[in-house]
């Protein structure tokens, strides 16, 4: 695989116990989709419900995905002031030098607060989903009949 930035060959490396494709030239790294989630899980488990919130507003870049050569898009990582690039075909994420360490730092700092927030959101979403689902409505009807 080639580095999206400088086209050097990516070499396998271990960062924070996670296997990444590391660029020896610009020190960036390529994480496959699951690998970023593993990195987060090193700190604490968001649970499956939170994974969908990973990518917010994204803008296209001129960097290319090492796997499919599509242009990478830049996005803000969760709610933080930290930008990453990702493949819109879901191959993975491109992190610049030490951004993975910042991810871990942010995670630790915001852990309690964010977990509370996500849990609350999840409960609310689940409640809405139940309310909209036919099975719930029919259960309610059953109750009143």
The residues in 78-97 that bind Zn ion, with binding defined as CB under 5 A, are 87, 89, 91
Question: Is 5 one of the binding residues for Zn ion (CB under 5 A)?
Answer: yes
Strands 55-64 and 29-32: unpaired
Eight-class DSSP state of 47: -
CA dihedral defined by 58, 64, 65, 70, rounded to 10 degrees?
80
Gap between the Cα atoms of 121 and 117, Å rounded: 6
Q: Given the complex with Zn ion, which of 71 and 80 has the nearer CB atom?
A: 71
Q: What does the per-residue mask of binding to Zn ion show for 14-53, with x meaning CB under 5 A? A: ---------x-xx---------------------------
Stretch that binds Zn ion, among 12-20, 58-66, 99-107, 115-123 (CB under 5 A): 58-66
């Amino acid at each position: 695989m080639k580095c999206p930035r400088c086209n050097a060959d990516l070499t396998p490396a271990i960062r924070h116990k996670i296997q990444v494709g590391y660029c020896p030239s610009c020190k960036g790294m390529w994480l496959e989709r699951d690998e970023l989630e593993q990195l987060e899980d090193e700190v604490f488990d968001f649970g499956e419900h939170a994974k969908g919130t990973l990518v917010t507003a994204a803008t296209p870049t001129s960097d290319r995905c090492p796997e499919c050569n599509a242009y990478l898009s830049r996005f803000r990582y969760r709610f933080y002031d930290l930008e990453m690039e990702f493949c819109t075909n879901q191959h993975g994420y491109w992190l610049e030098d030490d951004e993975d360490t910042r991810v871990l730092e942010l995670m630790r700092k915001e852990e309690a607060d964010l977990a509370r927030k996500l849990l609350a959101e999840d409960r609310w979403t689940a409640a809405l989903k139940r309310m909209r689902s036919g099975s719930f409505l029919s259960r309610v009807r059953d109750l009143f009949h």
